[in-house]
Amino acid sequence: AQAATSGTVSTEASRPGNSIITGTYYVGRGFCTFNIAAIPADATIIIGSNTFIRAVGANNGVQNADTDLITLVASTPASSTTLEANDFDNVGTTQFITAVSIGSWNDTGNNDFQLNTDGVAAIQAVLGGYVKFAWRTTKDISATQPMGFNWADMVDDTNFLSVEYTVPSGGFIHISS
């Protein structure tokens, strides 16, 4: 399933996870892109509590049979604004947050994750454009087959990126998108 080159595009909810159903292995990934053109190209992104990503639980229940973890990685979809089935395999493996147990996923509210140095570097590298992320499970990244259902649903179009940065003139600006 991880080696698939395309998937089914859903606009109802992102559902990162994995499961095995009657011998068939399923993998779900969630994609999110953010336009960060408002951040000046000469800005320096700050690693701290104000640089984080938020996903909102979809109130569909959480299933974590294998105690799997969810994490955030880079993605390279063909478009910055439209997801296509062929984007399924356009995901990275470097984790941009500390992976969290699906079992601790807040299914009815906000899930905030501070970006690590790799996550901040991903934003820094594309200032003036779009930063592109994907939600994956660690079993998906390691190509480990699940033994049961492992899913965390999030409401589409509610991912939120907060970036704190400084500008060379010595000022401080905080934006959220």
For residues 36 and 43, give the distance between their C-alpha atoms in angstroms, rounded to a whole number: 11
pLDDT score, position 117: 96
* pLDDT score of 29 more than 90: no
pTM of the model: 0.86
Distances (CA, A) of 115 to 36, 54, 61, 133, 169: 15, 10, 25, 12, 25
For residues 155 and 30, give the distance between their C-alpha atoms in angstroms, rounded to a whole number: 10
pLDDT interval class at 153 (50, 70, 90)? confident
**Greater confidence, 158 or 104?**
104
Whether residue 18 contacts residue 26, with contact meaning beta carbons closer than 8 Å, is answered with yes
* pLDDT score of 3 more than 60: no
* pLDDT score of 102 more than 60: yes
